[in-house]
Structure 1
Amino acid sequence: MATGSSATLFSPSMSSSAIDDASSPYFLHHSDSPGLILVSQPLTGENYTSWSRAMLIALSVKNKVCFVDGSVPRPEGTSPNLNFWIRNNNIVISWILNSISKEISASVIYSDSAHEIWIDLKDRFLQRNGPRIFQLRRELMNLTQGQMSVSSYFTKLKSIWEELNNYKPVCTCNHCTCGGIKSISNHYHMEYVMSFLMGLNESFSQIRGQLLLMDPIHPINKVFALISQEERQRNITTVHGNSGGEETMAFVVKNNMSKVNPVQISNRN
């Protein structure tokens, strides 16, 4: 998340008008109280990756990321901005303390800056890539629908997959012209869909087979929508004593396939 832009807006020689500029990191909205809770789930230690991500998003909205990443350091003692910095720093410290467990809060409450607290929490709770990737891969491998609804199963798989995605290397040169990045992205998407379909209960085997025949394969959200539609259809037919639900949904999927590539579907049939 880019934070340097806010830091470049100000220098130690700036006047008190900085607090009146909404684009300034020193600006405080009337709703920016010390009791504000920025994230719904407090930091407990195990959830550092998701917690820090949520906090950075919330802090970026408040234009206060610069106080945790250190890009706006404490001004010198003679700077007119010192009091502004102290006020904002303490506000951000309060928000952090409101967003972590009481046990963790007790260990950082005497820190002097939000940046110091942020680095402390990162050093303590951010797991190294190797062990965390291994843990997530194992969770993904062992994840099956079981007694969960399709929606609950997909939500759990998505949370694991999205965190794994954060560890995936990305190209930042912006000069790739061979199309390799697109191929890698398509392969990654296919693995996502395959992981979802593999964990489904065997009762979805017929519609799963139909989805796997599609070329190109549907986006993950479309696949989820079709499986959810099948689940709802079964619930309806169960209530009304109709046993033709799966055949009906299979027809819907097959009809969808014909819209994607009628010639290929005809050849396969």
Structure 2
Amino acid sequence: MTKIGGDSDRGMGGESTLDKMTIPLSSPLFLHPSDSPSLKLTQTVFNGDNYDLWADAVCNGLDAKNKLGLVDGTVAKPDGSEDSNYEVVAWRQCNAMVKAWLRNVIDEKLHPSITFSAIVLEIWKELKERYSAGNAPRVHQLKSKLTECRQGNRSVADYYTHLKSIWDELANYSRVPTCTCGAAAALAKEKEEEKVHQFIMGLNTALYDHLHSNLLMEDNLTSLSRAYALVLREERHKAVTRVREEQAEVAMAACTGGGRGKGASSEEESHEYEPPRCTHCKEWYHTEENC
């Protein structure tokens, strides 16, 4: 419980009229002793271009602090004056605290735009109106990213993480109501298969072409988690094979160099044996015909 009151509120008997007023622990107007104006709700700092990501992180932090109601409008300022209503004092303190928390996660160049706004709800609404791109443009942008997403030279883990971040953000904009009938399982399976196709299509074909074909040849398309596990295992196998081939190459070079005398000519060095290398996958000890 938080006591509300101070010396300025004390009456003739030296006891404040608000000293016995307390805020319940479950109330959004309760401030924990650990709450400080220097607190950072998230590591994501708003720079003017990342509103959606930042707003989601801030809302999550405020919800954890039970202060989300101050920015979504559900916790309005109580009626009355601070002399007659202790909740007004508590609301003013929480409003100032949340305003300080917002300033801590907003780039300093944007501070002048919120400095003179006293109500944190007004600050939140203003930021949303000014910087939120809207659902339709953002969904279009995300779907364009999804279409263009390719593994390239990235690791499988980095590629999958980037792909999943797009899927998760798209899910936040989904307007499809939650289904509770018997078709729910079928719809979930169809969405899972669509993600598997998207994941496989973006893989580096030079490295995983054979695995790509094997996954699609199955009667029942495997789950996304299994597809990811199979590709990750193949990546690790290729890494181990590459290390072994590099070690064999170094050993062969050492043996070839050790057999030459001190008087070996540069012409003899230029005809040093080199094992065959595939022009397709760039691996050693086989040719493209046997790849």
TM-score range, shorter chain: 0.7 to 0.9
Partners of 2:44 and 2:57 within 8 A in 1: no
* TM-score, structure 2 as length reference: 0.72
Cα-to-partner distance string for 1:147-190 (whole Å, 9 max, x where unaligned)? 11111111111111111111111325x7x43x233322222221
How far apart in 1 are the matches of 2:156 and 2:119? 45
SS in 2 for 1:81: helix
1:117-156 to structure 2, matched below 5 A, reads: 117-156=123-162
1:101-120 to structure 2, matched below 5 A, reads: 101-120=107-126
Cα-to-partner distance string for 1:6-51 (whole Å, 9 max, x where unaligned)? xxxxxxxxx7321xx3211122222211111111111122221111
SS in 2 for 1:127: coil
Query: What is the aligned partner in structure 2 of residue 248 from structure 1?
Result: none
Classify 1:141/1:33 alpha carbon distance in 2 versus 1 (closer, same or farther; 3 Å).
Answer: same
Query: What is the aligned partner in structure 2 of residue 265 from structure 1?
Result: none
Q: 1:229 aligns with which of 223, 226, 233?
A: 233
Q: Is the counterpart of residue 40 in structure 1 residue 31 in structure 2?
A: no
Query: How far has the Cα of 1:215 moved from its partner?
Result: 4.8
Query: What is the aligned partner in structure 1 of residue 57 from structure 2?
Result: 54
Q: 2:211 aligns with which of 203, 207, 210?
A: 207
Cα-to-partner distance string for 1:211-255 (whole Å, 9 max, x where unaligned)? 223454333233222211211111111101299xxxxxxxxxxxx
Equivalent AA in structure 2 for residue 162 of structure 1? D
Q: 2:177 aligns with which of 168, 171, 182?
A: 171
Q: Is the counterpart of residue 17 in structure 1 residue 14 in structure 2?
A: no
Equivalent AA in structure 1 for residue 136 of structure 2? G
How far apart in 1 are the matches of 2:151 and 2:143? 16
Query: What is the aligned partner in structure 2 of residue 11 from structure 1?
Result: none
**Unaligned residue ranges in structure 2 (runs of 5+):** 1-19, 249-276, 278-291
Structure label with greater radius of gyration: 2
**Unaligned residue ranges in structure 1 (runs of 5+):** 1-14, 244-269
Classify 1:233/1:27 alpha carbon distance in 2 versus 1 (closer, same or farther; 3 Å).
Answer: same
* TM-score, structure 1 as length reference: 0.77
Query: How far has the Cα of 1:80 moved from its partner?
Result: 1.8
> Larger RCO: Structure 1 or Structure 2 (Cα < 8 Å, ≥ 6 residues apart)?
1
Larger helix share, 1 or 2: 1
- What is the alpha-carbon root mean square deviation over aligned residues? 2.1
Equivalent AA in structure 2 for residue 16 of structure 1? M
